[in-house]
Amino acid sequence: MTPGLRISAFALVLSVGAVAPASAQKTDVIVLMNGDRVTCEIQSLDSGLLAVKTDDMGTIRIEWDKVRSVSSSRTFEVETSGGVLWYGSLAAGDGRRIVVVSTSGTSTPIDQLTVFRISTIQKGFWHRLEGSVNVGSSATKSSGVGQLYGNFEIRARFPSYEWGVSYDSTTTFREDEEDSGRYTGRVSYVRNLRDRWLLLGFTQVESNPDLGFDLRATLGGGAGRNLIQSPRRVLQLIGGAATNREQSVEGTATTNADILSLVRYSSVTYDYPKSETTLVLTVLPSVSDPGRVRASFNAKVSRAFFTNDFVFALTVFDDYDSRPPAGAVNSNDFGYSFSLGWKF
């Protein structure tokens, strides 16, 4: 390489190095209630926590009621507690107001404490993923009974919709007896509409020999509404229909049609340690087998320790079938577990 080419190549490297940091420079600004300013990249607001990415501290989460103002030239979807959606860049307003500036230049001031969710319109897929892993076990020497619990959840939020994948299993070990257990795998899709309305679609695969079935595959969906929608509390009611193919422990298979009713409540507190509570009740009266009613109740309470990414959790489940398949041991299956978990 000639000296002239070496100098040109060196100059090109310097220019690229100079441009790259500038292009990656974060320009969003967060002002806290105590007056501190944070230059960052706003990622999302969900469950009362504003996630921002900084150069020096990585990704941090700030309680929304500790934020005085936000500003960014990028485009966001902003949803209020009343279910109204706005699209545009963000600017600081008078008092505790956030101003959404649309692409046409229209400015809409919104009371900051009524903002329920903020989503980035242009955001990489991998940055949207969040989830948790929980593992727990117990054993009693005198009875020779041991139990292993595992749970995995992952979801991704996009403007106006989200999807999730979850797997939950409980296995019981007994001396001189065959192991028994239950598992549930689920894939769901939620479409958020205006005025707090939503659409739900899901598919689910589960097994619970104690309730008389080795395998049950379900496909269902419905519509619902968030009756309560605030940064720290959500109460959701959904109605719809579901159909399933059920394989009993005795080898017979049936196809069933059900009415779907679902109630979900979640709440979060952030004063250390952070605590989360989720309650889900699902009731499925049968259409194809009148008189049969299935119901499931799941509750999870978790508290953070060390950091908000590590949690100690109590999980409770109760599954009921008024007319279980032939071969069922019980019509009701109840259990609970303590576990350690990691959120990502």
Residue spans of the domains in the chain: they are 26-123, 127-343
- Confidence at residue 21, expressed as pLDDT on a 0 to 100 scale: 41
Cβ(337)–Cβ(323) under 8 Å? no
Per the listing, tokens 């968030």 go with: 226
**Alpha carbon of 235 to those of 267, 280, 328: distances in Å?**
9, 10, 34
- Confidence at residue 3, expressed as pLDDT on a 0 to 100 scale: 42
Cβ(156)–Cβ(120) under 8 Å? no
Below-50 pLDDT ranges, the chain: 1-23
Q: How many CB atoms lie within 10 A of CB 234?
A: 20
d(CA 254, CA 89): 53
Q: Can you read off the two tokens belonging to residue 250?
A: 């005795």
Peptide bond into 3 cis (omega under 30): no
- Confidence at residue 47, expressed as pLDDT on a 0 to 100 scale: 82
pLDDT digits (tens, 9 = 90+) for 241-300: 999 999 999 888 999 999 999 999 999 887 667 789 999 999 999 999 999 999 999 999
Helix, strand, or coil (residue 36):
coil
Q: What residue type is assigned to position 288 of the chain?
A: S
Q: Which CATH architecture has domain 127-343?
A: Beta Barrel (2.40)
Q: For residue 51, what are the β-bridge partners?
A: 44, 61
**Alpha carbon of 253 to those of 246, 249, 294: distances in Å?**
5, 9, 17
pLDDT digits (tens, 9 = 90+) for 289-326: 999 999 999 999 999 887 667 889 999 999 999 999 98
Per the listing, tokens 């619902």 go with: 224
